[in-house]
Amino acid sequence: MTTTRKKSKALPAPPTTLFLFGARGDLVKRLLMPALYNLSRDGLLDEGLRIVGVDHNAVSDAEFATLLEDFLRDEVLNKQGQGAAVDAAVWARLTRGINYVQGDFLDDSTYAELAARIAASGTGNAVFYLATAPRFFSEVVRRLGSAGLLEEGPQAFRRVVIEKPFGSDLQTAEALNGCLLKVMSEKQIYRIDHYLGKETVQNILVSRFSNSLFEAFWNNHYIDHVQITAAETVGVETRGSFYEHTGALRDMVPNHLFQLLAMVAMEPPAAFGADAVRGEKAKVVGAIRPWSVEEARANSVRGQYSAGEVAGKALAGYREEANVAPDSSTETYVALKVMIDNWRWVGVPFYLRTGKRMSVRDTEIVICFKPAPYAQFRDTEVERLLPTYLRIQIQPNEGMWFDLLAKKPGPSLDMANIELGFAYRDFFEMQPSTGYETLIYDCLIGDQTLFQRADNIENGWRAVQPFLDAWQQDASLQNYPAGVDGPAAGDELLARDGRVWRPLG
């Protein structure tokens, strides 16, 4: 699990009306409300916070609050082993501010009701969180603008939070950005990527830029290549309809994996303000080499899991999952090679992979270093040194580990890799968290550092567009049985460069 970021002398966020569009959906129940509960537990929410659910179902305020409490208790606290009960005092503080609006997202009368709720709240501050299907993003924002709900005053802010996927290709991402910027300014837009709420991701910047040891070798003189992996053991579960139109590339690469790439590869910002950090991230994603269609095809692998077995349990193939076409050509695994054309990283390949139904759940960044000069070991048993890595694991065992080559005891010159590092849970108290706590809090206080800017979004889609174009011409798939680490072609992508994936786990 991740933890809530501890800001120095953090104060409660200002009183705000937080509108949750799609309030009856899984995102609100499983992640947003537990995150709000945790923020309240930590004293980071003002008692003037009002939470207003917006959805088409007919539900009273009391029924809505009860539904959220039941889910929080039964699904989040108990089943995930994070505690035995909801703290009555914490939940009571939240419940006082929970309301519900029944309304159609495409009906202007709904927005008139939202305006009335703001007027009655005692504060002009409002955040509109779009936890909806992507098809509603443009329409909801346009209607918020038409109703005057995005107009800010001297003492009142208005902000919109947009979930992923932010577009489905470069063209749609540009169109969505254009729609948003017609009715509000960039400083009002919070494009959220929950990976950036994870402590280990934020720690990349701290580790890189506060330890001079790292910065000295963080370049192409010492780094051979970088691997970024997001492996899942689960299949598509109940998301077959969504996944059929999305696939692994759109679902994971231009957002999650490119955000990790940007944190690893960005230049030191002039300051750690939102504009400086986001500017450097946009630059490095913009420096990803634009492959031709032929190069994109050669530097990518598409895979789809078939039936398999894990720990004696039979698992269905993707095409047998609910709401999936029996002849589906949607990829559930993707591996890419990308290059960053700037002074620091020229010549260093970045290998990215993500997939479902793999052997272990593991999200990690692996920095592989060039071998040290080893002429002094000539005529010994050590003719080639093993690769050494810096491994940053985002989940499930959050922490960092650094390889050190050491001599094994004995008369002969034998070496072994020794891992030096730390796991977060061994050094810090880990409070239950969903990963959204930091992001919600930052939105409420107006800190955009961990949110994506328009140019970063568009640069990401610009980098993956050649792969989309190549796959449109050739949608062939490499099958892999559930429970393995992707198709053999994923290994071959590195093997032809004389490299191998670091084992997962």
Cα–Cα distance measured from residue 213 to residue 459, given in angstroms and rounded to the nearest whole number: 31
pLDDT of residue 6: 44
Alpha-carbon distances, residue 255 vs 15, 78, 123, 148, 365 (angstroms) = 30, 31, 34, 31, 15
- Are both 156 and 275 inside the same structural domain? no
Tokens of 4: 């809530």
- Are both 270 and 399 inside the same structural domain? yes
In a domain, 113, yes or no: yes
Is residue 225 flagged as an active site residue? no
Please check if 61 is assigned to a binding site.
Answer: no
Tell me, what CATH number does 73's domain have? Answer: 3.40.50.720
DSSP 329-372: ---SEEEEEEEB-STTTTT-EEEEEEESS-SS-EEEEEEEEPPP
Please check if 281 is assigned to a binding site.
Answer: no
In a domain, 285, yes or no: yes
- Are both 157 and 220 inside the same structural domain? no
- Are both 231 and 317 inside the same structural domain? yes
Question: Which residue shows structure tokens 């409300």?
Answer: 33
The Cβ of residue 178 has, within 10 Å, a number of other Cβ atoms equal to 11
Choosing from 56, 225, 245, 256, the catalytic residue is 256
16, 127 contact by CB (below 8 A)? yes
Q: Which domain holds residue 351?
A: 197-430+454-496
- Are both 343 and 242 inside the same structural domain? yes
The residue type of 502 is R
Please check if 408 is assigned to a binding site.
Answer: no
pLDDT of residue 331: 98
Please check if 187 is assigned to a binding site.
Answer: no
The Cβ of residue 234 has, within 10 Å, a number of other Cβ atoms equal to 10
In a domain, 180, yes or no: no
- Are both 244 and 159 inside the same structural domain? no
- Are both 125 and 202 inside the same structural domain? no
- Are both 78 and 201 inside the same structural domain? no
Strand, coil or helix: 70: helix
Helices 274-286/258-265 angle, 10° precision: 110
CA angle 394, 372, 402 (to 5 degrees): 20
Q: How many domains does the chain have?
A: 2
Cα–Cα distance measured from residue 400 to residue 415, given in angstroms and rounded to the nearest whole number: 22
Please check if 283 is assigned to a binding site.
Answer: no
- Are both 388 and 308 inside the same structural domain? yes
- Are both 210 and 255 inside the same structural domain? yes
Alpha-carbon distances, residue 426 vs 81, 398, 418 (angstroms) = 18, 10, 19
pLDDT of residue 385: 64
Cα–Cα distance measured from residue 316 to residue 208, given in angstroms and rounded to the nearest whole number: 42
The residue type of 31 is L
Domain stops at, among 137, 163, 189: 163
What value does the CA radius of gyration of the chain take, rounded to a whole number of Å? Answer: 24
Tokens of 29: 């129940």
Domain stops at, among 110, 140, 163: 163
- Are both 159 and 201 inside the same structural domain? no
- Among 462, 415, 422, CA closest to 167: 462
In a domain, 293, yes or no: yes
Please check if 136 is assigned to a binding site.
Answer: no
In a domain, 83, yes or no: yes
CA angle 360, 364, 367 (to 5 degrees): 130
Domain stops at, among 163, 179, 209: 163
For the four alpha carbons of 98, 102, 108 and 109, in that order, the dihedral sign comes to negative
Please check if 194 is assigned to a binding site.
Answer: yes
In a domain, 179, yes or no: no
Please check if 251 is assigned to a binding site.
Answer: yes
CA-CA-CA-CA dihedral for 219, 221, 224, 225, to nearest 10: 20
Alpha-carbon distances, residue 190 vs 220, 291, 339, 358, 475 (angstroms) = 34, 30, 28, 32, 34
- Are both 146 and 232 inside the same structural domain? no
In a domain, 185, yes or no: no
Question: Which residue shows structure tokens 């009860």?
Answer: 66
Tell me, what CATH number does 289's domain have? Answer: 3.30.360.10
In a domain, 489, yes or no: yes
Question: How does pLDDT run along the chain (505 residues), one tens digit per residue?
Answer: 333 344 446 899 999 999 999 999 989 988 899 899 989 989 999 989 999 999 999 999 999 999 888 888 776 555 555 555 678 888 888 888 999 999 999 999 999 999 999 999 989 999 999 999 999 999 999 999 999 999 998 889 999 999 988 999 999 999 999 999 999 999 999 999 988 888 888 888 888 888 888 888 999 999 999 999 999 999 998 889 889 999 999 999 999 999 999 999 999 998 878 899 999 999 999 999 999 999 999 999 999 999 998 878 899 999 999 999 999 999 999 999 999 999 999 999 999 999 999 999 999 999 999 987 655 555 555 555 667 899 999 988 888 998 887 878 887 777 777 888 888 888 887 676 788 999 999 999 999 999 999 999 999 999 999 999 999 999 999 999 999 999 999 999 999 999 999 998 7
Helices marked H in 191-347 — which ranges? 199-210, 212-217, 240-244, 247-252, 258-265, 274-286, 293-298
Tokens of 242: 């969504």
